[in-house]
Structure 1
Amino acid sequence: MKIHPLMLALAASSMLPAAFAADKVTPMTPDGVASYNKIRPEADYIKRVEMVPMRDGTKLYTVILMKKGTKNAPILLSRTPYDAKGSTARTSSQHIEELVDAMDIEYVQDNYIRVYQDIRGLHNSEGDYVTNRPVVGPLNNTGIDEATDAYDTIDWLVKNVAESNGKVGIVGSSYLGFTSLMAEINPHPALKAAAPQSPMVDGWMGDDWFHNGAFRNVNIGYTIGQSTAKAEGWDIATEPMDDYSRFLEAGSTGDYIKKWGYENYPFIRKLTENPAYTDFWSLQAVDKILAKEPLKVPTMLIVGQWDQEDSYGAPAVYKAIEPKDKYNDKVSLVIGPWRHSGVNHYGYKLGALTFTGDTAKEFRVKYMKPFFDHYLKGAPDPHTPPVLTYATGVNKWNESPKWPMGEGKKIYLSDNFGLSFDAPKAKQAFDDYVSDPAKPVPFIPRPINMDDSSQWKPWLVHDQRFASSRPDVLVYSTDVLDKPVHIMGAPLVNLFASTSGSDGDWVVKLVDVYPNTTSEGHSQGYVGQEMTGFELPLGIEIFRGRYVHGFDKPAALTPNKVEHYQFELPNVDHVFLPGHKIMVQVQSSLFPLYDRNPQTYVDNIFWAKPQDYKKATIKVHHDAKAPSNIVLPIAK
């Protein structure tokens, strides 16, 4: 049969896109199009974007992602300040597992419905942004907080996502760990499980903003970026130079803030106007809030042993809520060999350390996903261990019934810069150094760029020999160990010290010193260079002297008076091996990570004047009346 040419032309035109079929294109046809749909018909997933209404009418931008054909499925929710749209648009792949972060792959492949939501006021959500928005109560009379927003979001999801089985889990790290915990305050009945990772819990005691009263300069840029243009303001004015020089030349941290025009940012003002642990901070502390709440949601708390941002939160919440876990099966604590948020990435190594495979994926597959599967899909009880920790030094996972597992044993600073398990007997003994605010001890070798992830992420495992050779750092160590020492818990510092000034900071480091005569190669978790003499920090913490008699009661120190400073180092599971040494380092600055203490008492260190910064002679005492020591949680 012969087909007329006109019929062929009509048939061909019917196969063209509608725009071509409907309109004639001329040289002056506008070339702009409204949008392009990257999700092609062959994609193996469905992606929906919804503006979910909250009880006050504010709508939050929410991305719902699932494999095609998903039904009767659980929802895994993350509430984020870090751009839900960008988190689900990183590639043009038509395969769902290539669209999500590494931590999400196992879930979307197993027909979980993955939901990401911008918190109010940021990115594509409506409303006003308040950093770590306080829970409704004395600090918040609006009736709206992250707990109510989580409740309203979950309520909408289970009613409007037809593919759901009506069960929701919540997960996320850092700020997302904070929003995960907030969802557990008066939780929606559909919230069946939570896995807060490295959560922001108490920003003054030991998470992002302060540590024991010392301010963390590193977060100034973060604050400006998140508080400008709905978190789109990361292009801020600073000079391309060593951060050590940048902060030192500016003067006080307040001077630095003024120099770059940050002083009127509301959250910067909240920080600088509330330097002590008043109700402003204590009433926001999530662990204290959860301690008063009934335990309704099975919770897996996760943190990295070398978390450089939020090492405090997860163990603090565990301590607060674990007593409510009647059968020791609803609350668990996980400490892995990771940096901040490292659980969600690749856990083969950290800095110079290497581990036995991908420890992060191993944990996610073997422990975290079965935890969610049980509560959200009805899978058999995986019998999640109450405590799961990774023993660095020997590189293996330990399952434990409680935390801490170690029993406290004091190791004392002693004569000739030694460490001993025997208490000192001398009537008077001390070592001293001069702390000069004009030459503070850097927290890593210079030049320093705290925005450089290659410096920032692994800084807590950096070889400490750069610091231990300084005259303003005291170094104490044991003899070579003839048997292993296994610690499981948070070492407790008891430092007896005095200063010739009227204020001062105290930095204590617990260090594992590798043998100086041999290379242990790959067998002990080190790669990239020889381990000979390596000084591996296991815990580094700072304490601001003015708070020695109460975090809410700053006061000048009496010059040359011996005070007892007590504070914890981060939680750790580590084995000091035979042939190694245990070391303790003491110093008075950790710059520019923490602001400089002028060593002269002023009401507000943020606004210290140049004349306030003075040298001070520091004495660290180790005698019978003032026995400086660290209580090591030694496991049997």
Structure 2
Amino acid sequence: MKLHPLMLALAATAVLPAAYAADAVTPMTPDGVASYQKIRPEADFIKRVEMVPMRDGTKLYTVILMKKGTTNAPILLSRSPYDAKGDAERTGSQHIRDIVPVMDVEFVEDNYIRVYQDIRGMHNSEGEYVTNRPLAGPQNDTGIDESTDAYDTIDWLVNHVPESNGKVGIVGSSYLGFTTLMAEIHPHPALKAAVPQSPMVDGWMGDDWFHNGAFRNVNIGYTVMQGTAKAESGGIAVGAGDDYSRFLEAGSTGDYLKKWGFENYPFIRKMTENPAYTDFWSLQAVDKIMAKEPLKVPTMLVVGQWDQEDSYGAPAVYNAIEPKDKHNNMVSLVIGPWRHSGVNHYGYKLGALTFTGDTAHEFRVKYMKPFFDHYLKGAPDPKTPPVLTYATGENHWNVSPKWPMGKAEKIYMTDNMGLSFKPAANENAHDDYVSDPAKPVPFIPRPINMSDSHQWKPWLVHDQRFVSSRPDVLVYTSDVLNKPVHIMGAPMVNLFAATSGTDADWVVKLVDVYPNTTSEGASQGYVGPEMTGFELPIGIEIFRGRYVKGFDKPEALTPGKVEHYHFGLPNVDHVFLPGHKIMVQVQSSLFPLYDRNPQTYVDNIFFAKKGDYQKATMSVFHSSNIELPIAK
């Protein structure tokens, strides 16, 4: 019998209460559910999670994201120790542009497949984590490294992602800059372009762990967090407070490590047991490795001018591989007005400095994406500049054929704490100060919390007036400039100095002193009276005296003997404007960012005893100078 539609509706309604009653909730119905599908049918994107197998059977957690309708698309890969799952779900939005990091928006909106992967041993990947895992060879007999893992990942992706066009680019900053560079060593044929940003290249010479032999205390917390429970354990348990007091009261850095239970972490031991630049570090240096490898992958190296973590790596790799670029079209260097990884965020300002627009977005859209589009999508050649730098002070981009562009001109420390392009009348004259390890010079005003991003990220542009009047900081200042001084390169320090002790640290700062007026405006990179008389650091670097004869040969200094300390400041493109002054500051500590030098020679500063820390008189001679790379 055929029922009338109304009867069918009534029949259906009749069974609903019974069906509903079977699932009825009570006060004791458990309230948990197994899962919730965050990606709704209306989402404009596709997300896949895969465990990608490596050649040794280890599987790596890999997230694949693309906009719906994506076809014949290039893959943009990042390999990270910082949680690929989080990178791929920033919000619960149903729009792909809202869930990816801001640097990826233009790519996913333009037919790119975005892939994020946890490196082995981290977060949701299998395997064992080794910090900056050495390349297979003398220090790694497993045959497995970040190069092989990148190769295996790319091979899997081009064979298992049907929407792909078979071309892959790789990008990433900091540790991800390191994995980007490693992918270029013995690269997969499908790897067509790479953009390593602020890469970790040589952790002893000038990136994360040491600078010219001085240890960076700031990385202790990072090392502990990354080395605990696949980086899933959260922060370290030192509590709130002033890091200056915390480190000073502990004693040596070794005492600090022991106090907080960090001393037996494997990577902590690697650092504390290898304080000099022996093969332990030099064989891991990525720039030295890449100097020996053929140049196969077009590479755009990126760094921030005020990169507080990895200022060394990108220029070092550029110097290593650019000579192989016979036609000046395979390797490019970019220096932007950013802090560490600032290229991937918003580039309107840094600390008190304000720029003319979002410099980071401008770079990504005008230069980085066209670079990838050319090599991965067959877009017209964008004629990527061999060198692209942002001239701070005048605030505009410069395109150059090479780096450095400036020619070295010396500016000397002179009588009456002056600074001049003419040599001092008496090069044997000197200025003295007493360095007391019990009262080290802070690197930013106290209280200091190195885990506070608001303090840490912009510290390299902090107004230096907070230390200018300290008796243990020498301050040399030029006359007021009557014309611009434009530097393009790495200023080189020639410090002729002596100590009454048997070891010493030397900190040199190149500073732009702003006029004591408010007449200059936003076009010069700042706004408002807060910049009146501002002492803007253009470059800050440290050198541990025991390495003056060789980074692999520490030795005691001879009290009173003048030594020549030669080292570089970070690479910059900066204009000292008319009306400004050039300043150089010299001191012997930068605490607690760097560990204290006891100023008496001990075999290993990590384990210096209380009695080893002694005052010393430091003498800086007027033959000292800075070689400024001045562009004409």
Mapped to 2, the partners of 1:484 and 1:259 lie a distance apart of 51
C-alpha deviation, 1:528, in angstroms? 5.4
Query: Does the CA-based 8 Å contact 2:356-2:523 persist in structure 1?
Result: no
Mapped to 1, the partners of 2:164 and 2:568 lie a distance apart of 44
C-alpha deviation, 1:234, in angstroms? 2.5
C-alpha deviation, 1:521, in angstroms? 3.5
C-alpha deviation, 1:32, in angstroms? 3.2
Per-residue deviation, residues 454-502 of structure 1 (Å, max 9, x unmatched) = 1100000000001111110000011001110000000000000000000
- The question of 1:408 aligning with 2:401 is answered no
With 415-424 and 243-252 compared, the bigger mean Cα shift is at: 415-424
TM-score, with structure 1 as normaliser: 0.97
Query: Does the CA-based 8 Å contact 1:393-1:574 persist in structure 2?
Result: yes
- The question of 1:364 aligning with 2:360 is answered no
C-alpha deviation, 1:608, in angstroms? 0.3
Match of 1:10 among 12, 29, 33: 12
Mapped to 2, the partners of 1:211 and 1:428 lie a distance apart of 29
The equivalent residue for 1:187 is 187
The equivalent residue for 1:133 is 133
Mapped to 1, the partners of 2:177 and 2:445 lie a distance apart of 31
The equivalent residue for 1:236 is 236
- The question of 1:561 aligning with 2:561 is answered yes
Mapped to 2, the partners of 1:530 and 1:103 lie a distance apart of 31
Mapped to 1, the partners of 2:34 and 2:404 lie a distance apart of 58
Mapped to 2, the partners of 1:308 and 1:150 lie a distance apart of 27
- The question of 1:634 aligning with 2:609 is answered no
Query: Does the CA-based 8 Å contact 1:495-1:620 persist in structure 2?
Result: yes
Query: Does the CA-based 8 Å contact 2:90-2:101 persist in structure 1?
Result: no
Per-residue deviation, residues 59-93 of structure 1 (Å, max 9, x unmatched) = 00000000001110000000000000011122110
With 302-311 and 226-235 compared, the bigger mean Cα shift is at: 226-235
Mapped to 2, the partners of 1:210 and 1:529 lie a distance apart of 37
Per-residue deviation, residues 179-205 of structure 1 (Å, max 9, x unmatched) = 000000000000000000000000000
Q: 1:21 to 1:202 in 2, by over 3 A?
A: farther
Mapped to 2, the partners of 1:109 and 1:22 lie a distance apart of 47
Q: 1:427 to 1:458 in 2, by over 3 A?
A: closer
C-alpha deviation, 1:529, in angstroms? 3.9
Mapped to 2, the partners of 1:279 and 1:22 lie a distance apart of 73
Q: How do 1:16-31 residues align onto structure 2 when only pairs under 5 Å count?
A: 24-25=23-24, 27=26, 30-31=30-31
Q: How do 1:492-571 residues align onto structure 2 when only pairs under 5 Å count?
A: 492-527=492-527, 529-571=529-571
Q: How do 1:134-533 residues align onto structure 2 when only pairs under 5 Å count?
A: 134-426=134-426, 428-527=428-527, 529-533=529-533
Mapped to 1, the partners of 2:160 and 2:316 lie a distance apart of 36
With 225-234 and 150-159 compared, the bigger mean Cα shift is at: 225-234
C-alpha deviation, 1:422, in angstroms? 1.1
Consecutive unaligned residues of structure 2, counting only runs of 5 or more, are: none
Q: 1:22 to 1:631 in 2, by over 3 A?
A: farther
Q: How do 1:580-599 residues align onto structure 2 when only pairs under 5 Å count?
A: 580-599=580-599
Per-residue deviation, residues 208-242 of structure 1 (Å, max 9, x unmatched) = 00000000000000001110010012232103111
TM-score, with structure 2 as normaliser: 0.97
Q: CA RMSD in A?
A: 1.6
SS at match of 1:139: coil
SS at match of 2:565: strand
Query: Does the CA-based 8 Å contact 1:146-1:183 persist in structure 2?
Result: yes
SS at match of 2:409: strand
Mapped to 1, the partners of 2:7 and 2:232 lie a distance apart of 57
SS at match of 2:567: strand
Mapped to 2, the partners of 1:147 and 1:64 lie a distance apart of 20
Query: Does the CA-based 8 Å contact 2:460-2:537 persist in structure 1?
Result: yes
Mapped to 1, the partners of 2:13 and 2:552 lie a distance apart of 81
C-alpha deviation, 1:268, in angstroms? 0.5
Q: AA paired with 2:379?
A: A
Per-residue deviation, residues 425-464 of structure 1 (Å, max 9, x unmatched) = 4262000000000000000011111111111000000000
Q: 1:8 to 1:284 in 2, by over 3 A?
A: farther
Mapped to 2, the partners of 1:512 and 1:23 lie a distance apart of 76
Mapped to 2, the partners of 1:574 and 1:9 lie a distance apart of 81
C-alpha deviation, 1:6, in angstroms? 5.5
Query: Does the CA-based 8 Å contact 2:355-2:522 persist in structure 1?
Result: no
Query: Does the CA-based 8 Å contact 1:474-1:586 persist in structure 2?
Result: yes
SS at match of 1:39: coil
Query: Does the CA-based 8 Å contact 1:224-1:233 persist in structure 2?
Result: no
Mapped to 1, the partners of 2:74 and 2:413 lie a distance apart of 54
Query: Does the CA-based 8 Å contact 2:347-2:358 persist in structure 1?
Result: yes
Query: Does the CA-based 8 Å contact 1:224-1:234 persist in structure 2?
Result: no
Q: 1:490 to 1:2 in 2, by over 3 A?
A: same
Mapped to 2, the partners of 1:317 and 1:186 lie a distance apart of 16
C-alpha deviation, 1:7, in angstroms? 3.9
C-alpha deviation, 1:527, in angstroms? 2.9
Q: 1:185 to 1:427 in 2, by over 3 A?
A: closer
Query: Does the CA-based 8 Å contact 2:518-2:528 persist in structure 1?
Result: no
The equivalent residue for 2:604 is 604
The sequence identity of aligned pairs, in percent, is 82
Query: Does the CA-based 8 Å contact 2:427-2:621 persist in structure 1?
Result: no
Q: 1:370 to 1:498 in 2, by over 3 A?
A: same
Aligned length: 628
C-alpha deviation, 1:9, in angstroms? 5.2
Q: 1:425 to 1:62 in 2, by over 3 A?
A: same
Q: 1:11 to 1:38 in 2, by over 3 A?
A: farther
Query: Does the CA-based 8 Å contact 2:325-2:331 persist in structure 1?
Result: yes
Query: Does the CA-based 8 Å contact 1:207-1:309 persist in structure 2?
Result: yes
C-alpha deviation, 1:29, in angstroms? 5.5
Q: AA paired with 2:95?
A: H
Mapped to 1, the partners of 2:316 and 2:224 lie a distance apart of 28
Mapped to 2, the partners of 1:418 and 1:310 lie a distance apart of 32
